[in-house]
Structure 1
Amino acid sequence: MKQTVEEAARIEREKVIQELHVAYKMHKDPKHYIISNAAIQKYAVPLFKAGAGWQAKQSPWISVEERLPENNTVVLTRGAYGFLICQLSSLGEWETGANVNKERLGITHWMPIPSFDEILEANKDVPERIKEKGK
């Protein structure tokens, strides 16, 4: 079963609290322990969830559960066969030129394929970086 972000956050919070207990046994500073424990209890889970949300937005991959591409738009997909170039037909079925079992594609994510101009724009600083590396 897949772990939710809330479950992962609680597990990480408990790890930090255990580390705090170990530190308390060494330093025996109850004031520091009480303040730290309260801060961890209050902020750890929301901060973990915020970080997970931020990280999810950094990926160019779009979950098929979130949304699907427009019909007949060619996209890069990720699924049971690895990465395939596919398009979603007007019937809502994934189509690919590969000889695969279409019922078992298991596509979980997709991303638009950038145009050549977009690739050039995203990499326009590469010659300058190469030049800088050579110095």
Structure 2
Amino acid sequence: MKQTVEEAAYDYATNKTKFRKDVLKEVDADTYVSRHADSMEDFQCGAEWQSKQSPWISVKERLPEEEQKVFVLTMRYGVPYIQKEKFRRSSNLDTKERWIHGNSIVLAWLPIPSFDEILKNNNKK
């Protein structure tokens, strides 16, 4: 199961501040708690920023809705390809539950926005 951002931030902050306190002797006992909270906040901000950078969704994360039109990312002979596809569970998944497009395994997908969504986003600018 994936870690939540909060869990990952806690682990990161605990390990970072523990290392600074125990190994580098940088952090005294009084500022340990303060540093721990700051590190957690820094990690969460970075993780949230990163999550918004790529609109592509890994097939390991989730699959599209039935009949949803999407762009798919595949690799053929080491070359990435992007193609349009309508997802159908019955015809797109092989016996190992892998999403197949042609002869290639789909790595990620991107929802195709509706015309209304495009207009709405362009009006925000």
Specify the TM-score bucket, using the shorter chain as the normaliser.
Answer: 0.5 to 0.7
Runs of 5+ unmatched residues, structure 1: 25-31, 127-135
Greater fraction strand: 2
| Cα separation, 1, equivalents of 2:37 and 2:120 | 44
1:87·1:95 contact (CA, 8 Å) conserved in 2? no
> TM-score scaled to structure 1, two decimals?
0.50
Aligned to 2:32: 37
Pairing 1:76–2:71 present: yes
Aligned to 1:119: 118
C-alpha offsets along residues 26-70 of structure 1, whole Å, 9 cap, x if unaligned? Answer: xxxxxx733222333466357625752x34653533332332112
Alpha-carbon distance change, 106 to 73 in structure 1, aligned in 2, over 3 angstroms:
closer
Aligned to 2:55: 60
1:73·1:88 contact (CA, 8 Å) conserved in 2? yes
1:70·1:88 contact (CA, 8 Å) conserved in 2? yes
Aligned to 1:101: 103
| Cα separation, 2, equivalents of 1:45 and 1:90 | 40
Runs of 5+ unmatched residues, structure 2: 93-98
Aligned to 1:17: 20
Aligned to 1:28: none
Alpha-carbon distance change, 125 to 40 in structure 1, aligned in 2, over 3 angstroms:
closer
Query: What amino acid is the match of 1:113?
Result: I
Root mean square deviation of aligned Cα:
4.1
Count of aligned residue pairs for this structure pair: 106
| Cα separation, 1, equivalents of 2:16 and 2:84 | 40
1:88·1:95 contact (CA, 8 Å) conserved in 2? no
Query: What amino acid is the match of 2:121?
Result: A
* Percent identity over paired residues: 28
Greater fraction helix: 1
Structure with more contact order per residue of length (Cα contacts < 8 Å, sep ≥ 6): 2
Q: Which runs of 4+ in 1 moved over 4 A?
A: none
